[in-house]
Amino acid sequence: MLNDDFVCESTKHGDPANLLAIPGSSLDMPQKHTIPFEYLTHSVQLRTLTEHLTNEDVVAVDSESNSRHRYPERVCLIQVAVRSKVYLIDTLEVRDMAPLGEVLSDPSIRKIIHGADYDLRCFDRQWGFRVQNLFDSTIAAQFIGLRRFGLPALTKELLGVEIEKNERLQRSDWTLRPLGTNSLEYAAQDVWYLEEIHKILEERLTALGRTKWVAEEHSRLEQVRHVARNSEIAFLSVKGSQTLSGSQLAVLKSLFNFRESEARRMDRPPYYVLPDDNLVYLAVNPEADLAQLPSARRRVATPFRRALRESLARGVAAPEIERPTPDRTPQMTPSSKALLDRLKKWRQDWGEQLDIEPSLIWPMASLNRLARVPEHLATELDSPQVRQWQKTEFADSLPPVLEEIR
């Protein structure tokens, strides 16, 4: 336990209001229990906490970001839970986050994260943090056969606890300060139950003989990194750009770059500046009346309109853009389509037999390649998309399927 001198910065979070009452828990606590938390805003507090965490075997971790409201997005709060308490780290106030990175990368401490992919990318992007000894409760839940694995579903299914996900708080701007008690309670709830969920999931995985399967999935997930967009081709990701001509793509690229610049200047997500459908419409109709665009109407008499017009003019004057050459993948023949159907059934049958989602059995991209070139099974088994546990469990049953259609 931390010593009595370790207290939260704001006295308004030091009274009983920061203890969240949740009825109906099946944890070995009183029927009506509380979630104690502390709100940390100084580097010295974080350092004290991390010294304490080095004595823990398991911690639960979550984060709250502001991608709905700000651009570029930032992590605004990190929640760390141990059995006795939840610690809420204000990452907009704490200047030195490095001690937490040391804990996250410590292989002797298991980190439980629910739906870890997004958090891992955020941690890497903002601080270069790496997470070792990861346990993703979402992945583990899928491997014991659960079809609903959101946090409220898991707490109800595994613990008999019903928690309410407040949509207003889910969509709130975590940049705003001070954070209200309701927001802090909401954040604390997201990690409080994860250790108990982890224990039950581990027990069921062991009983099913699937601990190695999930361990490999976690090892792969630990390698996830933030990958910055390629600024030269990012505009091609705009929905609807696939149908544009070369000259229209040039306008789209100019508009995309304008939107990116404006989003950063305004500290607002790009869709707030101009949604994708507006970009595509203007790429096709660069002389359109901007007053008819709902997203631009309120700013048609401002410098924004002039800058937008200049962006359109640059795009019209720019050289046409040639689309990147698509990968030359062998076309599907009638026989390969028939084989793909058989491979899907093979995967479906295994999924039903093991009572897990068929998508876990074998990657769809691999099945597509095998359907086109079934004689490349040996090569496919070396594909980085195919897991070792999948090869061990299912590879021997693939050759008969591949031979059936020949």
Distance CA 46, CA 267 (A): 28
Top-level class of domain 334-404: mainly alpha
Helices marked H in 144-223 = 151-154, 167-170, 181-192, 194-208, 211-221
**The dihedral of CA 105, 107, 111, 116: what is its sign?**
positive
Enter the pTM of the model. 0.89
Give the full edge-to-edge strand order of the sheet including 110-113.
19-23, 32-40, 86-90, 75-81, 58-65, 110-113, 134-136
Check: CB of residue 148 under 8 Å from CB of residue 249: no
Antiparallel, parallel or unpaired: β 86-90 and 75-81: antiparallel
What beta strand segments (E) does 137-291 contain? none
Where does 15-128 have alpha helices with state H? 43-53, 98-104, 116-127
CATH 3.40.50.720 is held by the domain 11-221? no
Instruction: Please tell me if the domain spanning 234-317 has the same topology as the one spanning 334-404.
Output: yes
pLDDT of residue 405: 61
Terminal-to-terminal C-alpha distance of the chain:
66
Nearest to 267 by CA among 363, 344, 173, 360: 173
How far apart, in whole angstroms, are the C-alpha atoms of residue 35 and residue 85?
7
Four-CA torsion 383, 226, 356, 214, nearest 10 degrees = 80
What does the pLDDT read at residue 297? 64
Instruction: Quote the pLDDT of residue 92.
Output: 98
Domain boundaries, the chain: 11-221, 234-317, 334-404
234-317: CATH architecture: Orthogonal Bundle (1.10)
What pLDDT was estimated at residue 265?
Answer: 95
Q: How high is the pLDDT of residue 13?
A: 38
Per-residue tens of pLDDT for the chain, all 406 residues: 343 333 333 333 333 334 443 333 333 333 345 899 999 999 999 999 999 999 999 999 999 999 999 999 999 999 999 999 999 999 999 999 999 999 999 999 999 999 999 999 999 999 999 999 999 999 999 999 999 999 999 999 999 999 988 888 988 999 999 999 999 999 999 999 999 999 999 999 999 999 999 999 999 999 999 999 999 999 999 999 999 999 999 999 999 999 999 999 999 999 999 999 999 999 999 999 888 787 666 665 688 889 999 999 999 999 999 988 876 777 889 999 999 999 999 999 999 999 999 999 999 999 999 999 999 999 999 999 999 999 999 999 999 999 976 5
List the one residue out of 322, 311, 321, 264 whose CA is nearest residue 286: 311
